[in-house]
A and B are shown apart, each in its own frame.
Chain A
Amino acid sequence: MDAPPKAIVGPSTFVDDRLGAGTFLKRNLRKIFPDHWSFLLGEIALYSFVILLLTGTFLTFWFKPSMGEVTYTGTYAPLYGVKMSEAYQSALHISFDVRGGLLIRQIHHWAALLFVGGMMAHALRIFFTGAYRKPREINWLIGIILLTLALLEGLTGYSLPDDLLSGAGLRITEGVMLSIPVIGTYLAFFLFGGEYPGHDVISRFYTIHILLIPGILLALITAHMIIMWVQKHTQMAGKGRTEHNVVGAPFYPAFMAKSGAFFLFTFAVIALLGTFAQINPIWLFGPYNPANISAASQPDWYMGFLEGALRIMPSWEINLFDHTIPLSVLIPALVPLGLVMTGMALYPFIEQWVTGDRSEHHIAERPRNNPHRTAIGISAITFYGILWLLGANDVISANFKIDLYTTTWIGRFAIFIGPAIAYFIAYRMCIGLQRKDAEVLSHGVESGVIKRMPNGQYIEVHTPAAEDIAEHIRGKQEIPVLTGAPDGEGIPPKSARTALGRLRTRMSEAYGTDRVPLGNGHAHDEEHEEEHAAVGAGDRKQLH
């Protein structure tokens, strides 16, 4: 094409004359985006959010957020004539009497599950590659707020249909609110408009679910994207990639088209799930009644860890001066969530404090190259995972024929032991993988070619690693370490003189010391000397 078509030139000129959009496009049309599969995890969350907005709007056209009592006269025969809230009736109406209503309802629910799942996977990718480091701490914090809001958004969403399952969730929410010291009772009365269940909570949750939280989410997601755009994406280490450049494909046309395709993939998968994988069949649960419950009631998956925490907690309660602190509710409701979220929020700053590293980072670290961080992350995943599993301990007990109380007791110990074991294993795996990297660089890779030597000995020929792989490995960054060593006159540096300072120095050494430096990975290792000789003699390694 020699010139853009008139249909484009006309409007673009109009816009540029008035907004000067050309300057923006000049800078950004060919903005470079680095490529790696793990960079797409956040996009899953983003696109799920778009799908949630679209399908959610559709649902609002029919949903009636009212707890007023009506008698069901819709087409779902088993509930004909049953008294229920208008909210539940309209949810049934969407499911059975609106064409495509069931599909959109199920797509909405699946998209919500994927939204939170995508966010968590994305957050883990950021964590394990150190992509939260300077200058990206602000975006990391925004991400944590987004995740917290998404959990709330999910809770307010699955409470809306007012079926028996969603009512059980609300009841637990109320019980947890009541447990908060001093203000808990008031909070619960203000939220529910009086005593539980009252007549207000569905309409209030509705406003929160379709207006308040989505509005904040939209604003924060926009900020998240703009900051990502301005700071430019991190990239994996590799040939030609430095802290001062970005290597990849241009926004227009390649990245744009790829992103569009990925949105469609996400939508297609959610549509498939919404079509073929039934989710939240509210018509089977019946209308909410606080006197009833069905066995094996479970919240949506992302709330499972809170459920598990409630289940394994021993029955502790403090009664003092006519007041009650129900620890058996308060601790599981606040501590795990608080630990994970606060830990995530503080991690970039704690790490900066420990390493003393104030420089910008744009190359994503490989998880193995920061073994303590990776071990902490795996430890946290284990903590979360154990609680999540125990949120279904009754189902586990029924399916695997384990005594119910045994699962609880296992959980009570596992929640402390599990993360510690996970930390150790993850740390050792990182060190092992680093050794493997060092070996690939110093010894090359197995070629699959076996050679017979004149003396009858068999050896396997080794070849140097492919250049791209070698470059990727050599991209390992050193973790800065604070020095606490005394200077020439035996005086330790100022920062290391206090008890806190000494602790900081020790932590810094433990965190940052490179146990497996590249290049001379095995130089100190006596048993490998022979190998070195063999490689040195002709790039070969003896076959063990």
Chain B
Amino acid sequence: MTEHNENPESRVPTRVIGTPPTDGPIVDNDPIHVPADVPGVVPQDPVKVRKAERLVAFLFLITFLAGVAFIASYVIFQVGTIDKTAASNYALGGSLAVALLSLAVGITVWVRQIMPKYNLVQERHSMASDEDTREYVKETFLQGADESGFVKHRLLRRTLLLAAAPLGLAPLFLLKDLGPLPGTSLRHTVWGEPTKNGKPRRLVVEGTGQPIRAADFNSPGGILSVVPQGYEEDLDALAKATLILLKFRPEELKSGTNLNWTHDGIVAYSKICTHVGCPAALYEQTTHHILCPCHQSTFDAADGAKVVFGPAARPLPQLPIGIDEEGYLVAKSDFKVPVGPSFWERGDAEAQVRENA
């Protein structure tokens, strides 16, 4: 199969380049019996051919049996439970693979041991057409251009281009309704939406939907994944509004965290990573580090969730929280800066917040 031994008589397939030939110097081994009828087509030894034929027939027989087994497996093995699906998968896949494999091996043996060895030569021609052809094409082209009047009639040419322009742009306009324009929607989350009863929106535990009583969330080092009440299953809302809620001892909090936005050491940060938007879901209690599992942006939860490592460029935005009259945690307002990944229109929203403060 390799390029070294296209010379059929000197096939020594196992020989590595640079090692001596096993049957004496090759130079003395020029093709001895050039086949009389067709040069480059060397028939196989008839004894070997007979042996190979039996092998190939055997392999084809296996393919037949495996093919039958495949159909039988489809009928015999039903799906419905995990175990049954697994059994069906193994039976179908196993029989299919055996059928394909033995057919493949069979044909390969056929080609290599029954068909003759080939060393045929075909001429290659330059890809370029000859000069006469080029000249002819050139003249025909010019003649056609003249005949069509495209060159001569300027008005024709210009109005045609003019006519084509809006038609070419039309498809682009058709795509406009693919989506609404962004507007300022990336700057807001549902935390800023008014609730039905006009009261501040409660923080509820993701999954259970339970509101959180501040007094019950009292073990320092605790962490909760939190969603807005009323939007527990709204994926569009959750993609921006999901929070992580952390409980600190008062002395643990540093200047980066806005204490006015905390309640009794409870801090809420956006869970949506400011890098490309994965949920920053991992928390290391001893270091207060929040880690995004996608690209390992790391935020210091005790210090305003500022970036301590990784590709994220901005801290996780902090949500101003407080409690309602029943003692449940609520959002006092929306985030002051856009959550999630950066975008062109975002600007340095943090700096603006600092200026306004």
A interface residue numbers (CB < 8 A to B): 30-32, 34-37, 69, 75-77, 83, 95-103, 106-107, 135, 168, 171-172, 174-176, 178-186, 188-198, 200, 231-232, 235-241, 243-250, 253-254, 257-258, 260-262, 264-265, 267-268, 271-272, 274-276, 288-297, 307, 310-317, 319, 321-326, 328-329, 332, 360, 362, 393-394, 404-405, 408, 436, 440, 445-448, 463-469, 472
Q: Which residues of A contact B93 (CB under 8 A)?
A: 103, 107, 271-272, 274-276
A317 to B1, CA, bound (A): 55
CB distance A329 to B341 under 8 Å?
A: yes
CB distance A322 to B92 under 8 Å?
A: no
CB of B282 closer than 8 Å to a CB of A: yes
Of A35, A172, A250, A294, the contact of B276 (CB 8 Å cutoff): A172
CB distance A190 to B175 under 8 Å?
A: yes
CB distance A245 to B123 under 8 Å?
A: yes
CB distance A239 to B296 under 8 Å?
A: no
CB pairs A–B below 8 angstroms (5 shown): A77-B81, A238-B3, A317-B313, A317-B342, A466-B26
Of B104, B118, B124, B278, the contact of A264 (CB 8 Å cutoff): B104
Q: Which residues of B contact A313 (CB under 8 A)?
A: 311
Q: Type the 1/0 row for B116-129, where 1 means its CB is closer than 8 Å to any CB of A.
A: 00111111101100
Chain A CB within 10 Å, residue with most, of B1, B107, B240? B107
CB distance B26 to A468 under 8 Å?
A: yes
Instruction: Give chain A nearest CB distance to B223 CB in angstroms.
Output: 14
CB of B168 closer than 8 Å to a CB of A: no
Taking A246-B124, A290-B238 as contacts, is the C-beta distance between A466 and B295 under 8 angstroms?
no
A491 to B100, CA, bound (A): 68
Q: Which residues of B contact A393 (CB under 8 A)?
A: 296
CB contacts under 8 Å to A, within B269-295, are 271-272, 275-279, 281-282, 293-295
Q: Which residue of B lies closest to A186 (CB)?
A: B182
CB of B328 closer than 8 Å to a CB of A: no
Of A31, A232, A239, A445, the contact of B6 (CB 8 Å cutoff): A239
CB distance B6 to A35 under 8 Å?
A: yes
Of B79, B97, B182, the contact of A97 (CB 8 Å cutoff): B79
A207 to B67, CA, bound (A): 34
CB distance B238 to A264 under 8 Å?
A: no
CB distance A268 to B311 under 8 Å?
A: no
Instruction: Give chain B nearest CB distance to A123 CB in angstroms.
Output: 20
Of A36, A258, A360, the contact of B2 (CB 8 Å cutoff): A36
Instruction: Give chain A nearest CB distance to B173 CB in angstroms.
Output: 13
CB distance B341 to A469 under 8 Å?
A: no
CB distance A324 to B344 under 8 Å?
A: yes
CB of B330 closer than 8 Å to a CB of A: no
CB distance A100 to B74 under 8 Å?
A: yes
Q: Which residues of A contact B32 (CB under 8 A)?
A: none
Instruction: Give chain A nearest CB distance to B272 CB in angstroms.
Output: 8
A89 to B278, CA, bound (A): 23
A306 to B62, CA, bound (A): 45
Taking A193-B178, A195-B236, A274-B93 as contacts, is the C-beta distance between A468 and B5 under 8 angstroms?
yes
Instruction: Give chain B nearest CB distance to A482 CB in angstroms.
Output: 23
A342 to B147, CA, bound (A): 42
Chain A CB within 10 Å, residue with most, of B77, B97, B351? B97
CB distance B180 to A243 under 8 Å?
A: no
CB of B242 closer than 8 Å to a CB of A: yes
A307 to B293, CA, bound (A): 12
CB distance B3 to A328 under 8 Å?
A: no
Taking A244-B123, A245-B123 as contacts, is the C-beta distance between A99 and B277 under 8 angstroms?
no
Of B90, B121, B240, the contact of A247 (CB 8 Å cutoff): B121
Instruction: Give chain B nearest CB distance to A79 CB in angstroms.
Output: 11
CB distance B21 to A36 under 8 Å?
A: no
Taking A231-B127, A268-B97 as contacts, is the C-beta distance between A250 and B278 under 8 angstroms?
no
Taking A198-B236, A329-B342 as contacts, is the C-beta distance between A248 and B278 under 8 angstroms?
no
Q: Which residue of A lies closest to B276 (CB)?
A: A175
B interface residue numbers (CB < 8 A to A): 1-7, 10, 12, 15, 17-21, 25-27, 29, 74, 77-82, 85, 88-90, 92-94, 96-97, 100-101, 103-105, 107-108, 110-111, 115, 118-124, 126-127, 175, 178-182, 185-186, 206, 225, 227, 233, 235-236, 238-240, 242, 271-272, 275-279, 281-282, 293-297, 307, 309-314, 340-348, 351
CB distance A258 to B108 under 8 Å?
A: yes
CB distance B101 to A184 under 8 Å?
A: no
Q: Which residues of A contact B92 (CB under 8 A)?
A: 99-100, 103, 275
A186 to B182, CA, bound (A): 6
Q: Which residues of A contact B123 (CB under 8 A)?
A: 244-245
Q: Which residues of B contact A99 (CB under 8 A)?
A: 74, 77-79, 88, 92
Of B2, B293, B314, the contact of A295 (CB 8 Å cutoff): B293
Q: Which residue of B lies closest to A175 (CB)?
A: B276
Q: Which residues of A contact B296 (CB under 8 A)?
A: 311, 393-394, 404-405, 408
A77 to B124, CA, bound (A): 64
Instruction: Give chain A nearest CB distance to B89 CB in angstroms.
Output: 5
A211 to B121, CA, bound (A): 42
A321 to B124, CA, bound (A): 62
Of B126, B185, B347, the contact of A319 (CB 8 Å cutoff): B347
Q: Which residue of B lies closest to A180 (CB)?
A: B344
Q: Which residues of A contact B81 (CB under 8 A)?
A: 75, 77
Of B3, B19, B312, the contact of A472 (CB 8 Å cutoff): B3
CB distance B101 to A264 under 8 Å?
A: yes
Q: Which residue of B lies closest to A242 (CB)?
A: B124
Q: Which residues of A contact B105 (CB under 8 A)?
A: 261
A188 to B276, CA, bound (A): 13
Taking A75-B80, A249-B118 as contacts, is the C-beta distance between A190 and B278 under 8 angstroms?
no
Instruction: Give chain A nearest CB distance to B14 CB in angstroms.
Output: 13
Q: Which residue of A lies closest to B243 (CB)?
A: A291
A271 to B77, CA, bound (A): 18
CB distance A329 to B275 under 8 Å?
A: yes
Q: Which residue of A lies closest to B127 (CB)?
A: A135
A292 to B279, CA, bound (A): 6
Q: Which residues of B contact A448 (CB under 8 A)?
A: 20
CB distance B79 to A98 under 8 Å?
A: yes
Of A69, A75, A97, A102, the contact of B89 (CB 8 Å cutoff): A102
Instruction: Give chain B nearest CB distance to A277 CB in angstroms.
Output: 10
CB distance A250 to B18 under 8 Å?
A: no
A48 to B121, CA, bound (A): 31
Q: Which residues of B contact A77 (CB under 8 A)?
A: 81-82
